[in-house]
Structure 1
Amino acid sequence: MSNPRFDAEGFYSALDSVRQARRLTWKQIAAQAGVAASTLTRMGQGKRPDIDGLAALASWSKLDVSSFYRPTETSARNAEPLAEITALLRADKNLSGEGAIALENMLKSAYEHLRRRDIDGDET
């Protein structure tokens, strides 16, 4: 297997979810994490953060950086993405059991719809 690549776009998206959950602005995140606001701007434009910025943002957000490494070979994937999402939703202390199930059902429905569309080549 070749070297995995870091999914900077995925990390930024997860960081945005943390931002929304904590009701913060990007400027507040920069100040709290100890990174330059321009680091976050560049990440929003698809650029990769430097190692110090990544470490600071991961520490501040409590995101596990290793979960954003993507194998370059598709056969290297272990768990199904939907199964991982389901486990995370059910473990989220901020959601009631009912809320986790509701989100899980919405995500499953959307995931299956998009997966079928991608397999069939249909753009609707």
Structure 2
Amino acid sequence: MTGAHLDCEALYTAIDRERRKRRIRGNREVLRQAGIGGPSLLTRLGQGHGPSADNLIRLLAWLGTTDLAPFICSEDGPLMTEQLHTGPATKPAQLATKETTR
């Protein structure tokens, strides 16, 4: 899964779709509702510039989801959910066990 990155266009499209569904007129109101102060974040997102991690979480919460998978892609295009879970199988419990056995 090398080269995976945030698909800013897909995130922007999802936000715009939800904005229209909620009948919100402008991006400033979306950002206000999401708890984001900078008025240009959605403009930058539409230009392909990713938000900070904190603002990404705020936008996902505003969308009503915690699922980041639809907004992750690689050079080859969108990733399938199965591809996102093929990384190392290290779980927090396994890390704690490694720490305590040293």
Q: TM-score range by the shorter chain?
A: 0.5 to 0.7
Within the candidate set 38, 41, 45, 2:40 is matched to: 38
Query: Which residue is equivalent to 1:70?
Result: 73
| Percentage identity across paired residues of the two chains | 33
43 and 78 in structure 1: CA distance in 2 versus 1, 3 angstrom threshold: closer
1:59 equivalent in alignment to 2:61? yes
Question: In the alignment, what sits opposite 2:27?
Answer: 26
Taking structure 1 as reference, are residues 3 and 30 closer, same or farther at Cα in structure 2, changes over 3 Å only? same
Normalised by the length of structure 2, the TM-score is 0.64
Q: 1:78 to 1:38 in 2, by over 3 A?
A: closer
**Structure 1: 5+ residue stretches without partners:** 80-124
Structure 2: 5+ residue stretches without partners? 83-102
* Aligned counterparts of 2:27 and 2:41: Cα–Cα separation in 1: 10
Aligned length: 78
Provide Cα deviations, 1:59-117, integer angstroms capped at 9, x if missing partner. 1111422221114456x6479xxxxxxxxxxxxxxxxxxxxxxxxxxxxxxxxxxxxxx
Compare the two structures and name the one with the higher helix fraction: 1
Give me the TM-score of the superposition, normalised by structure 1. 0.54
Letter in 1 for 2:32: A
Secondary structure at the counterpart of residue 37 of structure 1: coil
Q: What is the distance in 1 between the residues matched to 2:18 and 2:81?
A: 25
The question of whether the paired residues in 2 share the 8 Å contact of 1:71 and 1:77 is answered with no
Query: What residue in structure 1 maps to residue 7 of structure 2?
Result: 7
What SS does the corresponding residue of 2:50 show, helix, strand or coil? coil
1:83 match: none
**Stretch of structure 1 that moved more, 36-45 or 15-24:** 36-45
C-alpha root-mean-square deviation of aligned residues, in Å? Answer: 2.3
Which letter maps to 2:42? L
